[in-house]
């Protein structure tokens, strides 16, 4: 399987599991504990996978890999916690998940432009405008 397909499947599984946990009130009143439990089991399974890969290939961990994992893990933890809190506050998953996904694309595009000095061409300008417009349209109270 290709990496983009696996990424899409993994992201979809996370979104679906968070939506279902809210639907069946698995985290009701325990949002932080629920999020910490998710990350504990995800970390445990990831650690097991990496250890098996290391045994298979003979490679070892580097300090920068551990630091990078922590730097990625902290914002991911709080983003999942935010999703759990917003779902428990009554946000609809059909609005929340697309809005967050578009916002992530918008933020990564802006980071690419300003941090990595990527070209700010017409297509990127149009994409940023459309992403902002999509977020605005998703956040409107449609009834």
Domain range summary for the chain, segments of one domain joined by +? 1-90, 92-143
User: pTM value?
Assistant: 0.72
Backbone angles phi, psi at 59, to 5 degrees: -85, 165
pLDDT tens column, 86-135: 888 888 888 888 888 888 888 888 888 899 988 888 988 898 899 889 88
- Is the distance from CB of 84 to CB of 20 less than 8 angstroms? no
pLDDT tens column, 4-61: 887 788 778 887 888 888 778 777 777 888 888 888 888 888 888 888 888 888 888 8
Query: How far apart are alpha carbons 74 and 69 in whole angstroms?
Result: 9
Query: How far apart are alpha carbons 102 and 98 in whole angstroms?
Result: 6
């Amino acid at each position: 399987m290709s990496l983009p397909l696996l990424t899409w499947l993994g992201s979809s599984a996370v979104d679906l599991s968070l939506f279902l946990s809210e639907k069946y009130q698995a985290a009701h009143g325990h949002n932080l504990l629920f999020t910490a439990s998710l990350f504990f089991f995800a970390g445990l399974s990831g650690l097991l996978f990496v250890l098996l890969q290391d045994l298979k290939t003979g490679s070892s961990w580097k300090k920068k890999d551990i630091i990078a994992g922590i730097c990625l893990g902290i914002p991911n933890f709080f983003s999942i916690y935010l999703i759990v809190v917003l779902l428990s506050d009554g946000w609809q998953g059909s609005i929340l998940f697309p809005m967050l996904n578009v916002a992530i694309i918008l933020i990564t595009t802006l980071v690419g432009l300003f941090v990595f000095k990527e070209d700010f061409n017409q297509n990127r300008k149009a994409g940023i405008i459309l992403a902002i417009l999509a977020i605005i349209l998703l956040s409107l109270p449609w009834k």
